[in-house]
Structure 1
Amino acid sequence: MPELSRKEKTEFNKLHKRLRRNVGNAIADYSMIEAGDRVMVCLSGGKDSYAMLDILINLRLNAPVDFELIAVNLDQKQPGFPEHVLPAYLEAQGVPYYILEKDTYSIVKSLVPEGKTTCGLCSRLRRGSLYGFAQEIGASKIALGHHRDDIVETLFLNMFFAGSLKAMPPKLLSDDKRNVVIRPMAYCKESDLVRYADHKQFPIIPCNLCGSQENLQRVQIKRMLQEWEREYPGRTETIFRSIRNVAPSQLADVSLFDFGSLSIAEDPDLHVPGIQVVNL
């Protein structure tokens, strides 16, 4: 990290403490990490996963429980992917790691027509590979680098394009019940992570497979939220709070609330006088 002025050091220390506090609170609120856990930290080469690993390493130094961190990168065989960057970084950090090689790039390019969105298929293939590898290495938790803004964006993606009211939970049991996924940065703002990555000068690796797709639905949602945030500062945080403050009886899902049994309570001791009509 470059030499900082006193003011820059003060600002960075505040930022670091805020991120540590947010990650620590999320871990505590959702019981994300427990004694003896072997946490597989999924490292993509982007700012979010770098920050997640860095903060978890820092938190582990003073954590009340002992747990293990193992970094895992999925090399999807994208053309021009700098294979040396992550191993060099992780060795310098002293973090045990695996590089899992799966040519999902060729699969995606062969199945998705030119110009169509690749993210959906790419995400499913990546998730399947990582889930399976977690079981191979005996990981009890899989840590993903999604932050608060990702969660809010997913909420609106599902509302606008899938007709469902759901987002990304901070903690998730996989469909096959064999993996627990955690998102330690669920309380962290993306803008804080951008600043943190700039300060730490992480060796960022861009995603060339889908990063240039400007018309992605997620990109459109992000722009919408950024506009809202400029016009009404704090709106994204308010929306995120609403995800944590759900009232099923005020929605319309009959599987979550028993609307059919609603009825007026009858009190035999309650006397309701008749209505008297008064001519004026």
Structure 2
Amino acid sequence: MSYIIKPPKLLLRRVGRAIADYTMINAGDRILLGLSGGKDSLSLLQILAHLQRYGPIPFELSALTVDPQIPGFDPSPLKSYLADLGIQYFYETQAIMDEAQKHLQGKSFCAYCARMKRGIMYRIAREQDYNVLALAQHLDDLAESFLMSALYSGRLQTMKANYTNNTGDVRVIRPLVYVRERQTLEFAKTAQLPVIVDNCPACFTAPTQRTHVKALLANEEDLHKDVFQNLLHAMRPLMVK
């Protein structure tokens, strides 16, 4: 029995187009996927595993989970899932919340946690000789980041689709940049992917700017169905290095 599930055609088409548009995957790439256990990263895991098996470009695929040891969040069940998929898996633990309480001094825990996780992912990629780090942010994430940057920082920027990190040794790709969040949600439900519920108290104690912008975008999309495609058109120059 294969645990690799064929994603819907529309999902594959949008990922395939993004990979081609931004030259995300080259022959011989060793790709390390940042796997949080959420619907987006689990969907991307299945998509990349399918493309590795049936796509025209040969590449290697492994996954990495960083367990921040936060109460209410336990991604350890992913270990058996990745074993069933037959995909090499790295599992790193670090007490990020404990460290944050010592060093934050009023700054955002979410930003600190993301920065710490990214540093761990870069380290594992280097140690294990992976040249590409795949992340699972989707079009909704890019649109939210774009509006947050414009509204609250006065800058026009969003996440890049494909770029090389500052030290020049790891390339970061986001194959879901054309995919809507509702697509990964539907795929995760239909395929019964083992989504790990994130109950981080630091993320849910108060509304955030991102929560507000997400609601704003949802309201605008109810009124104007092309909002996200228009935003994608506006963001394209910002998605390349």
What is the TM-score normalised by the length of structure 1?
A: 0.78
Show the counterpart of 1:106. 98
Aligned partner letter, 2:184 = L
Q: Which runs of 5+ in 2 are unaligned?
A: none
Aligned to 1:51: 43
* Aligned-partner SS, 1:88: helix
Alpha-carbon deviation of 1:66?
1.1
**Which of 8, 14, 19 pairs up with 1:16?**
8
Residue 84 in 1 paired to residue 95 in 2? no
In structure 1, the residue matched to 2:209 is: 217
After TM superposition, the structure 1 = structure 2 runs for residues 122-161 of structure 1, keeping only pairs within 5 Å, are: 122-161=113-152
Rounded to whole Å, the distance in 2 between the matches of 1:14 and 1:231 is 33
Report the CA distance between 1:165 and its aligned residue: 0.6
- The separation in 2 between residues aligned to 1:40 and 1:207, in whole angstroms, is 22
- Of structures 1 and 2, the one scoring higher in RCO (CA 8 A, sep 6+) is 2
Structure-to-structure mapping, 1:225-240, within 5 angstroms: 225-240=217-232
How far does residue 145 in structure 1 lie from its aligned partner after superposition?
0.3
What one-letter code is carried by the residue in structure 1 that aligns with 2:223? Answer: E
SS in 1 for 2:10: helix
Cα distance per residue 1:102-138 (max 9 Å; x no partner)? 2212112333468x74211111111111111111111
**Rounded Cα–Cα distance in structure 2 between residues aligned with 1:162 and 1:107:** 27
Alpha-carbon distance in 2 for matches of 1:139, 1:93: 19
Structure 2 residue matching 1:196: 3-state secondary structure: helix
For residues 153-188 of structure 1, the C-alpha deviation after alignment (integer angstroms, 9 at most, x for no partner) is 111111112221100011011122221100011110
Counterpart residue type for residue 34 of structure 1: N
Tell me which residue corresponds to 2:184.
Answer: 193
Residue in structure 2 matched with residue 7 of structure 1 by the alignment: none
CA contact (8 A) 2:6 2:50 kept: no
> Which residue in the other structure is 2:174 paired with?
183
Among the aligned pairs, what percent are the same residue?
33
Find the aligned partners of 2:192 and 2:6 in 1 and give their Cα distance.
18
Q: Give the superposition deviation at 1:36.
A: 0.8
Offset of 1:91 from its aligned partner? 1.0
Alpha-carbon spacing, 1:230–1:213, altered in 2? closer, same or farther (3 Å): farther
Contact 2:72 2:198 in 1 (8 A): no
Partner of 1:42: 34
Residue equivalent to 1:73: 65
Q: Give 2:164's match in structure 1, choosing from 173, 183, 189.
A: 173
Amino acid at match of 2:86: G
Q: Tell me the matched-pair count.
A: 233
Instruction: Sort the Cα spacing of 1:38 and 1:15 in 2 relative to 1 into closer, same or farther, 3 A.
Output: closer
- Residues 245, 84 of structure 1: CA spacing in aligned structure 2 closer, same or farther, 3 A cutoff? closer
User: AA paired with 1:56?
Assistant: L
- Which moved further from structure 2: 219-228 or 100-109? 100-109
- Which residue matches 1:256? none
**RMSD (CA atoms):** 2.0
How big is the shift at 1:80? 4.0
